[in-house]
Amino acid sequence: MDWKNVGRSIPEITTRDLVVFRLPPEETEQLEHQYNRALFNMNNDGADVAIITLKKIITEHTTWGEASLLFGICLAQCGEFHRAQQSFEYALTCGLHSQALTELAQYCLAEATTAAEQARVEVEQSSEDSPLKALSTAITRQESPLVAESEHRERIHVQAPILIKAPKKPR
């Protein structure tokens, strides 16, 4: 799935859309600017920068579904599909202002779930087939014949020597 095209389909937010939060006009303008700047960054290869801004927005406005949807798309662009999946679920739980965004969030959730599952399977297969894993398990299981069994036991009865400061002038 092309997550950049999905991000481009999200419209900019207006002051009218933020009336729900009942903020003072200055804060409303600032929130509008931050959200639209994150949207701009996401669409122009700056998804990681958008993530930072959106974390702050989501922390302050926990019930804003559009910010969670945008955050999930940014995470998906960065390849973090499991976190994106959780963000899409949260956006749907919070609710979105339009039917089109709700359908987009549902579609993104399905795609992120599929991508997260594929990534998990690929990681499992690569770890099973890895020659380094087989070599490391063989090395850790193998014990050196030169080391006696008594050297493998814990040495809890041994105490480190106490260091004493030497006098400046010997007597």
Which residue ranges of the chain lie beneath pLDDT 70? 127-163, 170-171
Q: ∠ at Cα 62 (75, 4), nearest 5°?
A: 25
- For residues 91 and 70, give the distance between their C-alpha atoms in angstroms, rounded to a whole number: 9
- Listed in sequence order, the residues at least 6 apart from 39 whose beta carbon sits closer than 8 Å to its beta carbon are 7, 10, 12, 13, 50, 70
The predicted pLDDT at position 46 comes to: 83
Contact (CB, 8 A) for 66 and 101: yes
Q: What is residue 78's predicted lDDT score, i.e. its pLDDT?
A: 92
Amino acid letter, 133: K
To the question of pTM greater than 0.75 for the whole model, the response is no
pLDDT at 86: 94
- Residue 134: the pLDDT is 59
Helices (H) and strands (E) in the chain — how many of each? 7, 0
Q: What is the pLDDT of residue 171?
A: 64
Q: What is the pLDDT of residue 142?
A: 52
